[in-house]
Structure 1
Amino acid sequence: MKNLIEIPRITDPRGNLAVIEKEVLPYAIKRVYYLHDVPSGAYRGGHAHKECKELLIAVSGSFEVVLDNGNTKERIMLSKPNQGLLIDVNIWRELENFSSGAVCLVLASHEYDEDDYIRNYETYKSLKS
């Protein structure tokens, strides 16, 4: 389930540059958004996608992602801006334990479509069985 992708990085004494081009992802990017100022103790996610794939990157700070394929749960800590977590379709995800100042960048394969979301966990589990 865990699919960490190393993002190419150019190291320079003036600072590092991370580059995401079409060869890095197995899909074209259709939407970019980011989560920030998530209050302590709050969580995000709590859904799965029917068609949309996403790459999550901790561009600042850290947070944990809990992945659930209907049978197994896996917890992944994201804290490196040159590493992304690729989440495939039909995987339930929850993001939690955001550090102060954390920013989660998401590169999505589809534009926003509410019909693509499975927001109820029991519905998700019934679709997986």
Structure 2
Amino acid sequence: MAYIINLLTFKDTRGTLTVLDQVVNFEIKRLFYIYNVDYSNRGGHRHHETHQAVICIQGSCKIINDDGIKQETFVLDSPEKCLIIRPEDWHIMHDFSTDAILLVLASTAFDPKDYIYEPYNHTL
């Protein structure tokens, strides 16, 4: 099941610095970010191999996660939160704020054969 980790963050009068070093237990092979999302849902899939770390570095969004046993909704509303998504986690990203920027760190390069679009039987 997906889970949230709190990122190491340093704050002082000069601003805030959040550290991503050694946050994930996989080698990062791909980075991308999603922004300017209208009212659409994003995602709607799981993977054969890819692990992901997802951070809403600005604004907020929600992620519905389903590992085939349990469904849970995560709210990413701080750049200090990182959601770890495992390959078996079918997920939908939705309810993006107008200013949201969602950063994704992935363990594999893009491969369309890695995607599984069929939800688990009980998924919304």
TM-score range, shorter chain: over 0.9
Partner of 2:16: 16
Q: Choose from 96, 99, 114 the match for 1:98.
A: 96
Tell me the percent identity: 35
Partner of 1:28: 27
Partner of 2:80: 82
Partner of 2:49: 51
**Which segment drifts farther, 25-34 or 5-14?**
5-14
Deviation at 1:65, TM superposition (A): 0.2
Question: SS in structure 2 opposite 1:52?
Answer: coil
TM-score relative to the length of structure 2: 0.92
**Poorly superposed stretches of 4+, deviation over 3 Å:** none
Query: Any idea what the Cα deviations from partners look like across 1:5-59, whole Å, max 9, x if unmatched?
Result: 11111212121011111x21111111000000000x2110000011000011010
CA distance in 2, matches of 1:120, 1:42: 18
Whether the 8 Å contact between 2:2 and 2:86 is mirrored in structure 1 is no
Question: SS in structure 2 opposite 1:70?
Answer: coil
Whether the 8 Å contact between 2:18 and 2:80 is mirrored in structure 1 is yes
Q: Which runs of 5+ in 2 are unaligned?
A: none
Partner of 2:7: 7
Q: Which has the higher strand share?
A: 2
Aligned residues: 121
Q: Which runs of 5+ in 1 are unaligned?
A: none
TM-score relative to the length of structure 1: 0.89
CA distance in 1, matches of 2:49, 2:73: 22
Partner of 1:113: 111
CA distance in 1, matches of 2:26, 2:64: 23
CA distance in 1, matches of 2:94, 2:72: 13
Deviation at 1:85, TM superposition (A): 0.2
Deviation at 1:75, TM superposition (A): 0.6
Q: Which has the higher helix share?
A: 1
